[in-house]
Structure 1
Amino acid sequence: MKASRFFIGTLKEAPADAEIVSHKLMVRAGMIRRVAGGIYNYLPIGLRSIRKVESIVREEMNRAGAIELLMPAVQPAELWQESGRWEKYGPELLRFKDRKQNDFVMGPTHEEVVTDIARNQIKSYRQLPVNFYQVQTKFRDEIRPRFGVMRGREFIMKDAYSFDKNMDGLRESYRKMYDAYVRIFTRLGLEFRAVAADNGSIGGSGSHEFHVIAETGEDAIAYCPTSDFAANVEAADALPLIAQRAAPTGPMTKTSTPGKAKCESVAEFLDIPLQRTIKSIVLATENEGAEPTLWLLMLRGDHEMNEIKVNKIPGLGEFRFATEAEIVEWFGTPPGYLGPIGTKKPVKVIADTTVANMSDFVVGSNEVDFHTTGVNWGRDLPEPVVADIRNVQKGDPSPDGKGVLDICRGIEVGHVFQLGKKYSEAMNATFLDENGKPQNMEMGCYGIGITRILGAAIEQNFDDRGIIWPESIAPFEIVLCPMGYDRSDAVREHADRLYAELVAAGVDVILDDRGERPGVMFADWELIGVPHRLVIGDRGLKEGKVEYQGRRDTEATLLPAESAAATVTEKIRAALAG
């Protein structure tokens, strides 16, 4: 490719709405341009990287035995009504009517459509297992699209769906996809972690997220540096931090705490560790035709509630936070001084696993400006219902018992699910087993955010000059920068010769034949992030040299002009081989 025949749309400044590095650099490097909120044009530079990501994904999916197809972006509402997600999915599902007033959606995912394919095409156990995948545009009507391609409304995704005759088969399909994802993200040249995760709205049993490690990541990942344990903070088990409850050491006492409504203020006022205070969170669940049930969740003062874990407690599947009016009605006081002792109306108490082993702790007295100290289970309070309802923190024991946890930030770029029979039962996707009896298929679901990978890769690889692409997904592997291409015959002839040699060797090379000044050329290609650069000038050629610099190198080095193409080809191949 020659730059004079290509489109290079670099900018000196990022748009005002660009909040994070990847958004700023993708716009400045001429990769994307905004069309509407969360919707982008992918310009030639950006599309080249997308196609390289897709190529690696396709190669590894094919290697793992998956079969590519293509399903429509527009899906009929009937399929979503069958699965039950028409009502449950929420406003992110873009719904519309055609001219005949039939309901349709813009697909955010394709479980319903692929299940419809399976139930119509798969009749016998002899056709199983099978794994269908596609690379397709998705649309999710995000309430607040932001961060460029990181949280857009329209995006490109690879989604795969496996169908098996039993759980053993599903586990094997899941393992193959998990291994394929490890190979994909390794080949993409990204630092990543596979972490245990919650299934969310898709449903099913086991799942893992694949996160690119970056300080700007939206997700917190708990991992153990001395073992293989890693999980999204939302899904990581929080072990009790107190092994055994100690005996009470003093009486329960109502204590004045004027104006101290937060655990931190109470602890400072009473001159006690924050870890001896209890945080009270009040939730409500609706009862048809009757007043709501109120729940009091008790966490240690330095801990945070995990809504996903709470949602899984029987009875709390559709909780909401209680209103202040409800809190006053049930507890007799506004928030800030709440506790389980002396409520006005009965509440259901749930204690976190650590709280359940605490003694001599401090709770609100259900009276403004008062807390109760020296509270103990059994003596002062009934034994609680105990559940893991908190987020893990740095320094907590690892759930695998092999060390303590640390926390890092990650950007989710892939997710694998064991769906089980959630969709096959809802949509009657069956096959005839070895005995001729109909059985529901066991399903798995496996997604990769193709366009999101670009943003994640940049968040992990950049400097003050621009993007630093891994070789495997850079828009070009090497750029040739001739000094005075339009003025020097020697420079032009050698640049053209190098270009021909690299093309013949299968290298993805661009020759900047625009005749720009060196500073403009270097700034453009450093911003775009091409991993390798050769500079050809009259002075160097007189000495039989050209100048090489890798994108991460601080200094340039001289290479023999006649062997430069072979040298950089070897460098590129070594980098791609990992």
Structure 2
Amino acid sequence: MKASRFFIGTLKEAPADAEVVSHKLMLRAGMIRRVAGGIYSYLPVGLRSIRKVEAIVREEMNRAGALELLMPAVQPAELWQESGRWEQYGPELLRFKDRKQSEFVIGPTHEEVVTDIARHQIKSYRQMPVNFYQIQTKFRDEIRPRFGVMRGREFTMKDAYSFDKDQAGLQESYRKMFDAYVRIFTRIGLEFRAVNADSGSIGGNRSQEFHVIAATGEDDIAYCPASDFAANVEAAEALPLYAERAAPREAMQKTATPGKAKCEAVAELLNIPLERTIKSIILATDNEGAEPTIWLLMLRGDHDLNEVKVGKLPGLAGFRFATEAEIVEWFGTPPGYLGPIGTKKPVKVVADRTVANMSDFVVGSNEVDYHTTGVNWGRDLPEPEVADIRNVRPGDPSPDGRGQIEICRGIEVGHVFQLGTKYSEAMGATFLDENGKPQPMVMGCYGIGITRILGAAIEQNFDERGIIWPEAIAPFEIVLCPMGYDRSESVRAETDKLYAQLSEAGIDVILDDRGERPGVMFADWELIGVPHRIVIGDRGLKEGKVEYQGRRDTEPTLVALDQAAGFAAEKIRAALAR
């Protein structure tokens, strides 16, 4: 490729609404152009990187035995109504009517469509296992699209769906996909972690996310440096911080705490550690035709509620935070001084694991300006329902018992789910087993954010000059920058010769023949992030030399002209092999 025949649309400054590094650099490098909120055109430079990501994904999916197909972006509402997600999915599902007033959606995902294919095409256990995949455009109507391709509304995704006759088959299909994902992200050249995760709106029994480690990531990842444990904070198990409950040493006492509604203020006033205070969080679950059930969740004062965990507890699915009017009705006081002792109406109490092993703790007295100290389970309060309802924190023991938790930031780029029979049962996707009896197909679901990978790779690989692409997905592997290509016959001849040698060696090379000044050329290609560069000039040619410089190198290296092609090819191959 020659630059004069390519489209290079670099910008000196990013638009003011670009927030994160990847968004700014993709706009400045001429990779994307905004069409509407969360919707982008991918310009030639950006599309080249996308196609390279897709190629790696296809190779590894095919290697794992998956079969490519293509499903429609527009899906009939009937399929979503069958699965139950028409009501469940929420406003991110873009719904519309055609000219006949039939209802459709633009698919954010394809579980319903692929299950419809399976129920019509798969009749016998002999046809399984099978894994279908596609690379296709999705649309999710995000309430606040932001961060460029990281949180867009329209995006490209690889989604795959496995069908097995039983749980053992699903485990094997899941393992193959997990292994394929590890190979994909390793080949792309990303630093990543596979973490245990919540299944969210997709559903299923088990799921794991693949996160690119980056300081600008949206997700908190809990991991143990001494082991392989890693989980999204939403899904990370929080062990009790006290091995057992100590015997009571204090008498229970109502204590004045004027104006001290927060645990931190109460602890300071009473001159006690924050860890001895209890945070009361009031939730409600609605009951048709009756008053709501009110729940009091108890956390240590320095801990935070994990709403995902809470939503999975028996009776708390679909919970909401109680209104102030409900709190006054049940507790007799506004928020700030709430506790489990002396409520006006019965409430259901759930204590976090750590709280359940505490003694002599402090709770609200259900009276403004008062807290109760020296509270103990069994003596002052009945034994509570105990559950893991908090977020883990740095320094917590790792659930695998092999060290302590640390927290880092990550960008989700892949997710694998064990769906089980959630969709097949709802949509009647059955097969005949070895005994001729109908059974529901056992499903898995596996997604990769193709376009999101570009943003994640940039968030992990950039400097003050621009993008630093991993070799495998760079729009070009190497750029030739001739000094005076339009003025010097020797520079032109040697550059063309080197270009031909690299092309014949299978190297993805671009020759900058635009006639720009050196500073402009270098700035453009450093911004775009091409990993390798060779500079050819009259001065170097007189000595039989050219200058090679890797994108991360601080200084160029002089290389003999007749060895330049081989030298560059070896550098590129070595980088791809890492």
Pairwise TM-score range, normalised by the shorter structure:
over 0.9
Percent identity over paired residues: 85
> 1:515 aligns to what SS in structure 2?
coil
**Equivalents in 1 of 2:73, 2:497: separation in Å?**
46
- Structure 2 partner of 1:9: 9
| Aligned residue number for residue 367 of structure 1 | 367
* Residue 524 (str. 1) matches residue 524 (str. 2): yes
Equivalent position of 2:212 in the other structure:
212
Deviation at 1:436?
Answer: 1.1
Matches within 5 A, 1:265-280: 265-280=265-280
Identify the residue that residue 64 of structure 1 maps to in structure 2. 64
Shift of 1:553: 0.6
Q: Which residue of 1 aligns with 2:343?
A: 343
- 1:356-405 CA distances to partner (integer Å, 9 max, x unpaired)? 00000000111111111100001111110000000000000000011111
**Residue deviations 1:62-99, cap 9 Å, x none?**
00000000000000111001101011100000000000
Structure 1 runs of 4+ aligned residues shifted over 4 Å read none
Q: Are residue 380 (structure 1) and residue 380 (structure 2) matched?
A: yes
Superposed, 1:47-446 pairs within 5 Å as 47-446=47-446
Structure 1 distance, partners of 2:284, 2:386, is: 18
Instruction: After superposition, give the CA deviation of every residue in 1:491-515 in whole Å (9 maximum; x if it has no partner).
Output: 1111111100000000000000000
Counterpart residue identity of residue 300, structure 2? R
Cα distance in 1 for partners of 2:294, 2:323 equals 10
Partner of 1:327, secondary structure, is: helix
Q: How far apart, in 1, do the equivalents of 2:40 and 2:97 lie?
A: 24
Unaligned runs of 5+ in 1: none
SS at match of 1:132: strand
Between the aligned partners of 2:232 and 2:144, the Cα distance in structure 1 is 23
Secondary structure of 1:354's counterpart equals: helix
TM-aligned CA deviation for residue 416 of structure 1:
0.1
Distance 1:372 1:550 in 2: 66
Quote the RMSD (CA, aligned, Å).
0.5
Give, in whole Å, the separation in 1 of the partners of 2:409 and 2:351.
Answer: 28
Q: Give the paired residue count.
A: 578
Name the SS of the counterpart of 2:100 in structure 1.
Answer: coil
State the alpha-carbon separation in 2 of the partners of residues 457 and 278 from structure 1.
Answer: 42
Write the letter of the residue equivalent to 1:458: I
Between the aligned partners of 1:491 and 1:23, the Cα distance in structure 2 is 37
State the SS of the aligned residue for 1:498. Answer: helix
Q: Partners in 2 of 1:144 and 1:52 — Cα distance?
A: 29
Amino acid at match of 1:498: L
Q: Deviations over 1:501-556 (max 9, x none)?
A: 00000000000000000000000000000000000011000011000110001111
Match of 1:553 in 2: 553
- 1:425 & 1:288 partners in 2: Cα distance? 27
Q: CA separation in 2, counterparts of 1:577 and 1:558?
A: 24
Structure 1 residue 467 displacement after superposition: 0.3
Q: How far does residue 195 in structure 1 lie from its aligned partner after superposition?
A: 0.3
Give deviations 1:245-266, integer Å, cap 9, x for gaps: 0011010111111111111111
Report the 3-state secondary structure (helix = DSSP H, G, I; strand = E; otherwise coil) of the residue aligned with 1:548.
strand
Distance 1:129 1:374 in 2: 60
Partner of 1:22: 22
Q: What amino acid does structure 2 have at the position aligned with 1:283?
A: L
Q: TM-score, normalised by structure 2?
A: 1.00
Q: Offset at 1:333? A: 1.0
Which residue of 2 is the match for residue 543 of structure 1?
A: 543
Cα distance in 2 for residues equivalent to 1:169 and 1:157: 25
2:469 pairs with 1:469: yes
| Structure 2: gaps of 5 or more residues | none
The one-letter code sitting in structure 2 at the alignment partner of 1:377 is W
SS of structure 2 residue aligned to 1:563: helix
Output one character per residue of 1:261-304: Cα deviation in whole Å (capped at 9) or x when no partner: 11111111111111000001000010111111110000000100
CA distance in 2, matches of 1:154, 1:27: 17
- Secondary structure of the 2:403 match is coil
Residues in 2 aligned to 1:416 and 1:377: alpha-carbon distance in whole angstroms: 42
Separation (CA, whole Å) in 1 of partners of 2:458 and 2:257: 50
> Cα distance, 1:329 vs. partner?
1.2
Q: Which residue number in structure 2 is paired with residue 484 of structure 1?
A: 484
Task: For residue 325 of structure 1, report the CA deviation from its aligned partner.
Answer: 1.1
Letter in 2 for 1:280: S
Deviation larger for 387-396 or 325-334: 325-334
1-side partners of 2:563 and 2:10: how far apart?
Answer: 32
Provide the C-alpha distance between the structure 2 equivalents of 1:258 and 1:539, rounded to a whole number of angstroms. Answer: 81
Q: Aligned with 1:549: secondary structure?
A: strand
Deviation at 1:342, TM superposition (A): 0.8
2:282 is paired with a residue whose SS is strand
Describe the SS at the equivalent of 2:113. helix
The match for 2:568 is: 568
Any idea what SS the aligned residue of 2:328 has?
helix
Q: For residue 344 of structure 1, report the CA deviation from its aligned partner.
A: 1.0
* Secondary structure, counterpart of 1:389 in structure 2: coil
